Amino acid sequence: MSNMFSRIAMTNSIVLLLFSLTFLEHGLLFQRVSSLGINYGQVGDNLPPPDKVLQLLSSLHINKTRIYDTNPRVLTSFANSNIELFVTVENEMLPSLVDPQQALQWVTTRIKPYFPATKIGGIAVGNELYTDDDSSLIGYLMPAMMSIHGALVQTGLDKYIQVSTPNSLSVLQESYPPSAGCFRPEVAGVMTQLLGFLRNTNSPFWINAYPYFAYKDSPTKIPLDYVLFNPNPGMVDPYTKYRYDNMLYAQVDAVIFAMARLGFKDIEVGVSETGWPSKGDGDEVGATVANAAVYNKNILRRQLQNEGTPLRPNLSFDVYLFALFNEDLKPGPTSERNYGLYQPDETMTYNVGLLSSSSLTSTSTTSSTSIISLTSSASTALKKGKQRLMYWTCVYLLAIHMLIRRSY
């Protein structure tokens, strides 16, 4: 009898191992990518309510999102969810928040009532305060950041909520090759203060990086495959000899080199925005559904691998895709209203391979122009996985049956 139980135990072990391998093979479809977030902009008059947005993000297994304000409806709707919010102090509020008392009131009314039920992990103080066109608010940045951080300390929230600011690539004087990265002289003083603050508070330096803009401006000089993360010869930095197979990583490393030139080599860098428009005006070269799908799909694949840049190969970094929805009220060229992975009615603009839980039981209707569909292949893989599980279940039961018969 003991021999029979030994055989059963061995069979159990083998079958459990096979079950584990089958799940491991297909588990990639459902894992949360901890380093991937998405920007949830709300500049539209036809967007779904926040509770619907929460359902969508949850079904896509996205656990980080960034909003551009502290909208109470969003903060309330996202309570008791697994999604971490990165909220924003609007640019026009910075002058008033230089005052520590105003900053304390802001934290007390905009953050504290919702935390910790709503997982607020970061506060972006402004957004792209320095651009090529306007730098009038940059002087308010550090006083406002220090006041807000001080308010977090007073309310006991500084251990949980980081304070930083997203920067445009305009802060760089040079970005090519990456090893030549340096800040513009007119912002170097502010950047030194910012980097000191980030080091002291263990917060990341955020950059909004769009390889699309570089390609649009020089489509005959910059290879499309290089900006889309497609296979390509890449470029080699002549000084470091690092090879770059995509522009985004080169831009991130240019920022790291720029920080190092100011004496800061240990600060984490994250990408607070990156994306590709699916539609544009006549002069917006490359703004197509096909390119947008490929760019964002390849970003997703890289984030699944948790890889770093050539300069920091063993250090993965957070990336927030821009954006969740097409936003019809955004000003500017057509591209500005067409960065969304989804239309306002929650249908996909194109498929980048984010498998919605609901798609396991029903087939979603997508745009007829969508050319990338990882969901169909994922569903096929899932079906095969279920078939294998059924097969090995039968093998298991048959083995148990044969062992019991032999024991008698």
Coil/strand/helix, residue 367: coil
CB–CB of 293/338 below 8 Å? no
The 10s digit of each residue's pLDDT in 161-220 is 999 999 999 999 999 999 999 999 999 999 999 999 999 999 999 999 999 999 999 999
Q: Other CB atoms closer than 10 Å to residue 364's CB: what's the count?
A: 12
pLDDT of residue 34: 77
**Nearest one of 282, 311, 286 to 214, comparing CA atoms:** 286
Please say whether the beta carbons of 196 and 141 come within 8 A: no
Active site residue 307: no
Catalytic residue chosen out of the listed positions 25, 92, 128, 346: 128
Judge whether 128 counts as a catalytic residue. yes
Whether omega for the bond prior to residue 116 falls within 30 degrees of 0, making it cis, is yes
Confidence check: pLDDT of 67 > 80: yes
pLDDT of residue 328: 98
Give the SS3 label for residue 233.
coil
pLDDT, residue 400, reads 59
Q: What is the pTM of this model?
A: 0.82
Q: By C-alpha distance, which of 75, 90, 174, 60 is closest to 121?
A: 75
Under 8 Å between Cβ of 77 and 48:
no
Cβ proximity of 197 and 141 under 8 Å? no
List 25, 174, 186, 273, catalytic entry: 273
Distance CA 193, CA 195 (A): 6
Q: Which contacts of 13-18 are long-range, i.e. CB under 8 A and separated by 24 or more positions?
A: 15/392, 15/395, 15/396, 15/399, 18/392
Please write the tens of the pLDDT for every residue from 251-310: 999 999 999 999 999 999 999 999 999 999 999 999 999 999 999 999 999 999 999 999
CATH of 30-355, one of 3.20.20.80, 3.40.50.1000, 3.40.630.30, 3.30.2130.10: 3.20.20.80
